[in-house]
Structure 1
Amino acid sequence: MQSLVSSIRPLDTPTTAFGVQPLVELSDRKAHAFTYIFRGSVVLTAALSNYGLEQIGFAAPWLPWMILMPLMGIMQSIRARRQRKHGLTSSTATDKTMRLLQKSFVLIILVSVASACVVGWAVVHPILLVLYGVSTFVAGRVLRFRPLLLGGVACGLLGSTAAFVPADTQLLLIATAMLLSYIIPGYLLGKQSR
């Protein structure tokens, strides 16, 4: 009986004559795996902390977002700079597309934060989750990795569901979405790249 990780394979992954994936692609997958696990964990932590603080009546339950998101950005910038300095970044079309996708999503997040000040988070959360889903689905196609595709679909469905629930419940859907679309696929991507 195969393990879950060994049964999940990329979509149409190019291989060498011996059926082995190129090493550069495997190291890129490992870097992407770390990014998905890290981002997903930080967002999951912020969402659950916000929900918990709201439930106990804390005056500023959004504070975890204000602390964790900038910290995550700083840590990822430092990590990216170190990787570039040591020549660990790739310049393949896949890697360039993934970087462009991530930069685009940062812009979407910034626009969403500005929009939330006007229309409220109860309106913005579902839209963000659907966009997380689209982004994850596209990344799954670019990386040819089925769990990211499925995670993107799950995230999109959770985003659609979030439109019909109160803002505090949306936080639980965000946490679930991060688990299904970022953390689990990231773990499987890292496991596969070993």
Structure 2
Amino acid sequence: MEKSLTSEESLSIITEMISKAKKDTAGDGGFQLLLWGWVIAICNLGHYALGILGYEKPYMIWWLVVPAVFVSFWHGFKNSKKERIKSHISQVVNQLWMVVFAGIMITLAFMPVLGFNQNPVILIITGIGMFVTGALIQVSIVRNGGVLLLVAAVIAFLLPVSQQFLLSGIAVILGYLVPGYYMKKKYRERV
């Protein structure tokens, strides 16, 4: 027969799960947020700068994403082997970002159909990922990063494609890197 939990025990379990999810999401300092924040910001700003400088193939800078994918998966795999217990919220956050990644890949596959306006769509997808992550782990700066990315998506739709790269680079710095460094600081305080 199952034992019924008191309201205090239930609240304690929920609080513990949220705390563990925050720590898991922060990981070793928000590694994934910082990795992807830097890579995508550099690629967006680099694409913009190379286009301004008249480089014939400014999109070549996006090849930096390939090693980042391997580093991201390797780091995630390595960390998942170390964990004994994974909270439900952490599993939801991981699955959320797998779906965000799939959404980005689908968007990139259809860039010509979108008239190469993929940046606003990607900002929407990642904005949703950041907002939901922030809501799940109850960290307002992460949730606000998601809102910022969504606002940037609206603005990006109003800009020419060439200028979307500049806006996206700035939005990623503010919407990914700022929350990532915040998580890193909080993680270090807990260790």
Q: TM-score, normalised by structure 2?
A: 0.83
2:129 and 2:178 map into 1 onto residues whose CA distance is 16
Report the 3-state secondary structure (helix = DSSP H, G, I; strand = E; otherwise coil) of the residue aligned with 1:119.
coil
Partner amino acid for 1:38?
L
Per-residue deviation at 1:89? 6.8
The answer for the alignment partner of 1:10 in structure 2 is: none
Which of 64, 78, 86 is the matching residue for 1:82? Answer: 78
Contact 1:28/1:90, CA 8 A, preserved across alignment: no
Structure 1, residues 134-170: CA drift from partner, whole Å, max 9, x if none? Answer: 1110110011100011111111001000111111111
Contact 2:21/2:90, CA 8 A, preserved across alignment: no
The answer for the alignment partner of 1:114 in structure 2 is: 109
The answer for the alignment partner of 2:89 in structure 1 is: 94
Contact 2:21/2:137, CA 8 A, preserved across alignment: no
1:30 and 1:72 map into 2 onto residues whose CA distance is 18
Which of 37, 41, 44 is the matching residue for 1:40? Answer: 37
Runs of 4+ aligned residues of structure 1 deviating over 3 Å after TM superposition are 24-27
Q: Relative to structure 2, which stretch is displaced further, 31-40 or 182-191? A: 31-40
Task: Kindly name which structure, 1 or 2, has the bigger radius of gyration based on alpha carbons.
Answer: 2
Contact 2:22/2:137, CA 8 A, preserved across alignment: no
Structure 1, residues 92-137: CA drift from partner, whole Å, max 9, x if none? Answer: 1111011101110111011101110323222x22122122211110
2:100 and 2:22 map into 1 onto residues whose CA distance is 24
Which of 57, 64, 69 is the matching residue for 2:65? Answer: 69
The answer for the alignment partner of 1:6 in structure 2 is: none
Structure 1, residues 26-62: CA drift from partner, whole Å, max 9, x if none? Answer: 6414317111111111000000111111111111111
Partner amino acid for 1:135?
G
Calculate the aligned-residue CA RMSD, in Å: 2.0
Aligned length: 173
Report sequence identity in percent.
23
Contact 2:50/2:58, CA 8 A, preserved across alignment: yes
Unaligned runs of 5+ in 2: 1-13
1:105 aligns with 2:106: no
Which of 177, 188, 192 is the matching residue for 2:186? Answer: 192
Partner amino acid for 1:118?
V
1:111 and 1:77 map into 2 onto residues whose CA distance is 19
1:150 and 1:26 map into 2 onto residues whose CA distance is 16
Partner amino acid for 2:15?
P
